[in-house]
Structure 1
Amino acid sequence: MNKSKLVFSIKTASPTAVRALSAHCSRRTNNGWSEIDLSRSQLNRQTFGSGASISDSLKNWYRDKEVAKPAKQSENSYLTLVLSASHDYFCSDEVVVHFEQRAMRWLVKQFGDELVHAELHLDETTPHLHAVVAPTYMKSRRTPGRRRKDETDTEFDARKASASAAPKIRTSSWSSSKYAYKNSFFDMRKSCAKMMSDLNLVYGDDRRFGQSGKTTRGWIKSTARTVADNLASLEMRSRSLTEREDELRKVIAKVRSYHLENVNKSNDLATALMNAQKLETKLLEVNKTLRVAATLGSMSQAEKAKAKLVFDALTRNFKNINADIQTQSKRAQKTDASVDVTETFMRNK
């Protein structure tokens, strides 16, 4: 048989989580998220515990072991475990039995009388063993730290001595137990894999610890910091983009203004050119008339003087219009240059 990886899932659990697990184990229903074959549920068997369900076993365990329940503010006082292997590993009933026996041997050796309940499920895709553990510690009576009102020194010392001499009470708690140390789950997995090694099972994939060696809580904190940093970076980029958009809007408005100004000046230039052409035509006609009149001698001196005044006036008007045309042309060139610079700026943005 090829080697298969051990599936070893362990986590702390609250009383609510334990009750939910008890309901899952007792009331077998195909609820959509677990592959339960109801025709095989009768094959499930309880392998440890003094009650018919996890909740009953826990209630009896507190009574029989005379253990005090955890404080109300204690959230995760228990341990829940799931032991299994790959689906192909359980190729026969004999393999299932050997796995069950070896898993129970490890659970009893590891947790002793703190093991509350265990049961094997055979009605799902892959056989697996559920276990519930109630870690304990010896709780000392709290030593008084403050004198009562009107209490003498002698009475206060006697009260402290009585508290110190009081017997310790065995109490259920994960956080104060011997298992509450860093990498304890890692050590338990190694211990279980070692006991299972001759069953062709090897150390499986860590689910509580990633490749970096971080705990789940450490990974969550690290990920939360990364997400916060990414959000801060995105907010900065968003502000930067907003500022750039505002700049681009101003540039676009400026380009449009330049464009309209350029169009207006182009229209003015076209009008000036048309007027200049008309004036030039009129000048040519007046000049022709003066030449004909001078040739024929049909104009009096007064008419010649008057015609010359008209001709001179038209010539000055023509020069003024021509100067205006040149001015408008230079302004149009400057506007075109400004538009080119603005368009280049927009492309670079």
Structure 2
Amino acid sequence: MANIQDVARAAGVSTASVTRYLAGQRIRSEEAVRRAIDELGYRPSQVARSLKSGRHHSIGVIVPDIANPFFAGLVKGIEREVRPHGLQVILGNSDEDAEHEEALVRELSQRTDGLIMAPLSENDQIPNLLGEHGIPLVFVDRETSTGPDVDRVLVDNAAGIRQAVDHLVDLGHTRIATISGRLDSTPGRMRHEAFLAALAEHGIAVEDGLVRYGDFREESGREQMTALWRHAAPPTAVVIANNLMTAGALVALGDLGVRVPDELSVVGFDDLPLATLLDPPLTVVSRPDVEEGAAAARLLVARLTSTEPMPTAHLTLPVELVVRGSTSTPPRSVATP
């Protein structure tokens, strides 16, 4: 395979001249260099293409936890959508760390044509940082309350929680607990507020001891579920704000010897790859992770290819309650007469 040195020798010029030509600069031996490239079948590297076009032919994707299966599906949808456009995906994992997130944004804004990201906090200053670089940005799963308005794709978090609470109330539960995620994040705040509102709509008082707070990680789900079950009057049902915390909660329940759903009904937000293989299969609020990623990618590609100003797009995708075997009527000893 020919390289830039081969082109320079065939054209009788220096490699510096070839580099300037590939970068779009005028040189005296343009015809000789062009002919050498054609004859040798030389294909510029990605770096050389970037120099000439001013584009990187790649996009950056920043997620808060690469170990979360939801974000794996999200990235799959993004990659599937941008690949036909000749774009590569460079993935960054902020690992729920604000400083690392900022470092990733600074790095990827120099190496990509645009970014799709799930910001850690609604108070994130990232939009202002990207505005300095003029980098197109799409928020996915989360958004911020500061900086310029940007494209975003969310799911109907509130509707999902309402469906979960309605389902449990229909089964006869009144002692319903929750393990919420980070309240400074969009999904954490929306799901928490929706849970409180749904209980109020059903005339169910909120007990402080039945409202617990995690951080979207598995260990916090285990810790908070243990605390809930050791409460003086444990709940008969629990709604858990994401998949990893649900996994942790199920581990805790197994360690405590709690029978699901005979002693406690469990609903998780986000489906799990093995949810149907659990015993019992898990009732979940399922959201379209692949399509959510694909929708965000379509918005970014439109920004990258449009020659006209575009209005900001705010998309909200529907969710679905999938009822399986982890929910049932409350134990007889606490069932409502």
Global fold match (TM > 0.5) = no
TM-score, normalisation: structure 2: 0.21
Larger Rg over CA atoms: 1
User: Where is the helix percentage greater, Structure 1 or Structure 2?
Assistant: 1
TM-score, normalisation: structure 1: 0.20
